[in-house]
Amino acid sequence: DLMAQLEHKLASPSAPPKLIAELVSGFATATIAAPRELPTGLVQRLEELSLLHGGEVHLHGRLFSQWMHHAFPRECPYPHAAGTTNPQTAEEWLERTGQSAMASTEEMQKIVQDSCSAGEAEGLGFVSELPWSHDEELLVTGQEATQVRRSSWNSVLCIVFISVIVVGGLLVDRRLTEKRELQRKCRLFSLLTSVVIVLQGMGMLDYSALMLPLVFGVIYIFLHQRATAAARPSAACGKAEKCLA
């Protein structure tokens, strides 16, 4: 398989057009001898493909499959754009048109001769006669699909975290109306946590940077409440001793 050979030699989903042209020119098939010099128009097409993707040609796309069809018309099928074809079996064709899907050897030879005669009359080469469309369709690899799903989950988690922080912050804020200092610290903690979550959702922070403020913030609030609760009995005892005195 020509694509398998190319993928094995490149070991990358994309490559510079010059390197691809050098490798492809060395591929031999039953109908094409190698090495050969690729037609100028074919090389120019490859250069055009690289301009669409930052200087490199994506191997797993419709345009490159079309280019391979031009380079190896008998070995590589023409990649029709999605939704533009309607494959039918011979029985379906017969039922739809009433015409036979079979052709005699003489009829097929006549079609080929007429096609070659038309190309010679227009002064076109074989490669130039092949159809070319500029519709690109890139194959999404497993890694890219995973990244897309991960990005979607990050967005959902960020929304959930921020919602929990906002709702929890409002509930805590109502209960701390008489404790202004603790109320101020909780508001500051909620604000900083929301900022960190937004930055992580934008890809500017990693998970460690996201979790550290949350963990230390929860520990700080817990210890602060414990210290406050422990200080209350001491204060009450002090007042009782003064009253007794």
Q: What is the pLDDT of residues 113-125, one digit of tens each?
A: 876 665 444 444 4
Beta carbons within 10 angstroms of residue 48's beta carbon: 14
Percent of the chain exceeding pLDDT 70 equals: 55
pLDDT value of residue 24: 93
Whether 41 shows a pLDDT value over 80: the answer reads yes
Region of 110 (left: φ > 0; alpha: ψ -120 to 50; beta: rest) is alpha
Whether 243 shows a pLDDT value over 60: the answer reads no
pLDDT value of residue 184: 72
Q: How many residues does the chain have?
A: 245
Is the C-alpha dihedral spanning 165, 171, 175, 179 positive or negative?
positive
Q: In terms of pLDDT, which residue wins out, 50 or 84?
A: 50
pLDDT value of residue 50: 92
Whether 167 shows a pLDDT value over 80: the answer reads no
Q: What is the pLDDT of residues 187-204, one digit of tens each?
A: 777 777 777 666 666 666
What average pLDDT score do residues 4-10 get? Answer: 91
Beta carbons within 10 angstroms of residue 118's beta carbon: 11
The answer to which of 54-63, 200-209, 234-243 has the lowest mean pLDDT is 234-243
H/E run at residue 61: none
Region of 83 (left: φ > 0; alpha: ψ -120 to 50; beta: rest) is left
Average pLDDT, the chain: 74
Q: What is the pTM of this model?
A: 0.50
Of 48, 54, 43, 52, the C-alpha closest to 20 is: 43
pLDDT value of residue 80: 85
pLDDT value of residue 128: 46
> How many Å apart are CA 195 and CA 203, to the nearest integer?
13
Q: In terms of pLDDT, which residue wins out, 223 or 97?
A: 97
Q: What is the pLDDT of residues 12-39, one digit of tens each?
A: 889 999 999 999 999 999 888 889 999 9
Of 40, 50, 41, 54, the C-alpha closest to 19 is: 50
